[in-house]
């Protein structure tokens, strides 16, 4: 296995270790903080099932969500719900 393949495999393991505990909860929330004109506002929202898939895909793949990251997110959520 090449060094780049090992780095990629390690990165995937680290991402899964971070994301997997999040998947096991019954609810998934997003928190957004905005500061305008010296005032800070925090919004908290419970995600729907489709939004949850999108958010997990974003956590896995960054801002560029691909069909592969969406499929992986959906698979991870399904796997976590079975456990």
DSSP sequence for 14-65? HHHHHHHHHHTSS--EEEEEEEETTEEEEEEEEPPHHHHHHHHHHHHHTT--
Higher pLDDT, 42 or 81: 42
Domain ranges of the chain: 3-82
- Give strand pairing partners of 41: 34
Residue 20 and residue 80 in contact, taking contact as beta carbons nearer than 8 Å: yes
Encode pLDDT of 9-60 as tens digits: 565 566 665 566 666 677 788 888 999 999 999 999 999 989 999 988 888 8
* Count of CA atoms in the C-beta half-sphere (13 A) of 5: 2
Encode pLDDT of 6-16 as tens digits: 565 565 566 66
Predicted TM-score of the model (pTM) = 0.63
CB atoms within 10 A of CB 56: 25
């Amino acid at each position: 296995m090449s060094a780049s393949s090992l780095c990629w495999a390690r990165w995937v393991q680290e991402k899964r270790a971070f994301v997997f505990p999040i998947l096991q909860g019954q609810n998934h929330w997003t928190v957004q903080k905005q500061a305008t004109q010296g005032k800070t506002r925090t919004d908290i929202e419970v995600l729907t099932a489709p939004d949850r898939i999108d958010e997990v895909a974003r956590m896995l793949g960054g801002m560029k969500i691909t069909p592969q990251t969406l499929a992986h997110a959906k698979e991870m959520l399904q796997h976590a719900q079975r456990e």
